[in-house]
Amino acid sequence: MEEKKLEIISISKEYSDEFGFKVKLLNNISFEISPGKFTGIVAPEGSGKTSLLKIISGLENPTRGQIIANRFMNIVFIPSGPSSFPWFTVMENLKFASKLDSEKQLQEIIKIIGLEGYENHIPHNKSLGFRFRIALGRALANKADLIVLDEPFNEMDIVTKEEIYELVRKIFVTTKIPFLLGTTNITEAIFLADKIHLMKKNPGEFIDKLDVNLPPERKIQLMSEPSFNDLRIKVENIFKTKESYKSLNFYI
């Protein structure tokens, strides 16, 4: 992303419901994504979080507002469901739309995502964690300037989640590629992000933000530390005060 920030300026999104009435999904959202930072957005279901992530990724248009720099950046959007091609092998998935010069570089990415030895495996019947590793590998092979994650961990079992959390954080620390995570899960946002924006619904708008002052390199045991729990309680209390939190997840 060089040294240029991605600026999200006064983004609003409206749509017409089945009766023709205007519904405001997103209202006047502004923030920035800095180079080398992992940014999180925690929001309840139905807040318009996915629409916001797609707007930032250039996959959807806002009703009002603008995003500065996204037309000049390579943004990779990883959705909540599996996005790898189930009929391609792991290596073929990475080669698809790859911007790398050699298979040796792809092999290094396969090692980074923990799929060494699985280069010729077809992922159609593999676990969600396996499929997500491929999606991450494709983002790296595509030389992403920003990787946007839209709740890709929801359907994974706890053991897989813990492995993937550590992997994502390790890749972020190693590559310095900025990440943007949208989630309903407070715990995963605190573990992964350096800064968290808290979002309400009806309409979707930011209500607060929080700096996560935890070590750059993080292991899952960090979730048991008092400093981690203090952050979790702080986020919970903000939502309890300012927004219904019934559709938020507090633990993994």
Give the pLDDT confidence score for residue 246 in this predicted structure. 53
User: Cα(first)–Cα(last) distance of the chain, in Å?
Assistant: 31
Query: Rounded to two decimals, what is the model's pTM?
Result: 0.92
Give the pLDDT confidence score for residue 230 in this predicted structure. 95
Question: Across-strand partners of 211?
Answer: 195
Reported confidence tier of residue 249, pLDDT bands at 50, 70, 90 = low
Is 135 a member of any domain?
no
- 10 Å CB burial of residue 20 (0-12, 13-18, 19+) is exposed
Higher pLDDT, 143 or 80: 143
Is 81 a member of any domain?
no
Give the pLDDT confidence score for residue 1 in this predicted structure. 43
Give the mean pLDDT of 186-214. 95
Give the pLDDT confidence score for residue 245 in this predicted structure. 55
Give the pLDDT confidence score for residue 252 in this predicted structure. 53
Domain count along the chain: 1
Give the pLDDT confidence score for residue 83 in this predicted structure. 80
Q: What is the dihedral of CA 249, 40, 198, 185, to 10 degrees?
A: 0
Q: What is the mean pLDDT of the chain?
A: 90
Rg (CA), the chain: 18
Give the pLDDT confidence score for residue 191 in this predicted structure. 97
Of 88, 182, 193, 188, the closest CA to residue 141 belongs to: 88
Range of the domain at 45: 6-73+145-242
Strands (E), the chain: 6-16, 22-33, 38-42, 64-68, 75-78, 146-150, 179-183, 195-200, 205-211
Is 170 a member of any domain?
yes
Is 46 a member of any domain?
yes
Q: Which of 30-34, 56-60, 83-87, 247-251 has the lowest mean pLDDT?
A: 247-251
List the structure tokens of 191. Answer: 């573990």
Reported confidence tier of residue 132, pLDDT bands at 50, 70, 90 = very high
CATH number at residue 12: 3.40.50.300
Give the pLDDT confidence score for residue 15 in this predicted structure. 87
Q: Which of 12-21, 61-70, 131-140, 157-166 has the lowest mean pLDDT?
A: 12-21
Higher pLDDT, 170 or 35: 170
Is 169 a member of any domain?
yes
Q: 102 pLDDT exceeds 90?
A: no
Is 78 a member of any domain?
no
**Distance, CA of 58 to CA of 6 (rounded, Å):** 12
